[in-house]
A = this chain, B = another copy of it.
Amino acid sequence: MTYCVGIKTHQGLLLASDSRSNAGYDQVNTCRKMFTFVTPGERAIAVLTSGSLSLTQSVTTMLRRSYRAGEGLAAAATFYDAVRVIGECMRQVADLDRAALEKDGLNFNIHMLVAGQIRGEEPQLYMVYPQGNPLAATAEMPFLQIGEYKYGRPIIERGVVYSATTLESAAKYALLSFDATMRSNVTVGPPIEMLLYRSNSLEFDEYRSFGADDPLMLSIHSQWEHSLRHAVEQLPEIPFKACLPGTQPAE
């Protein structure tokens, strides 16, 4: 399993991915799911992947090969075109592998987050579905997730506001979101990689990786639990009423 999240705010982008790969319970590995394609001052594109590692590797191999040849993501005129390049690679891998997978009852189920900026445009954040079609984040829906997304969704949904949240705060929300997810699902695990992208920087020069014993992550974890319990204690008490026999619930 995997968990990746992209957050888009008025200041830029915050991207985060876990690094656990598992094929069954006894084949657990570490593998990075964050890939960057950068021509400084001109374009900075990050791709985050979820789904079968065998399939996402084929996509990123194709993307890297064409990038080095000055094609694909290197040649896309707009960010939307770049996202379409990725969708097209996903479709090529589907053409290669999908029929064989389905013969054995396996799904072609990879998703990608694509985020960054091409000079002359605003920073952008997209999700690409397994079929290759893209979905863009908006001011109203300023974050996108792939993989095991449910545990880590409420904290971001409550906290992140496109027009108000700083990238520094977005990084904290993302880390709390991973903390919640890793606690509930052992197939999402460290290191957590994080990229902070400021609008118009056109390179990825703010990066952080959190290992399992990262002191800052552990300290944020314990401070957060403490604050959260304190905040619950501060909430008003919930009064209960006696249920008389005739008004028992669902009688």
Contact = CB atoms under 8 A, between A and B. Distances in A.
Contacts of A152: 154
Given A231-B231, A238-B171, A238-B175, A35 B206 contact: no
A250 B150 contact: no
Contacts of A111: none
Nearest to A196: B240
A239 interface: yes
Contacts of A38: 248
A113 to B, nearest CB: 13
What is the oligomeric copy number? 2
A154 B151 contact: yes
A169 B36 contact: no
A206 B249 contact: no
Contacts of A151: 150-151, 153-154
Interface bracket on A: 35 or more
Contacts of A237: 168
Nearest to A158: B225
Given A32-B249, A229-B159, A250-B35, A168 B207 contact: no
Contacts of A175: 238
Given A194-B238, A243-B205, A249 B36 contact: yes
Nearest to A47: B250
Given A34-B249, A36-B250, A154-B151, A231 B240 contact: no
Interface string A208-224: 11000000100110011
Interface of A: 32-36, 38, 150-155, 157-159, 168-169, 171-173, 175-176, 180, 183-184, 193-196, 204-209, 216, 219-220, 223-225, 227-229, 231-243, 248-251
Task: Enumerate the 6 nearest inter-chain pairs by beta-carbon distance, A residue then B residue, closest first.
Answer: A150-B150, A206-B240, A154-B180, A227-B231, A32-B250, A207-B243
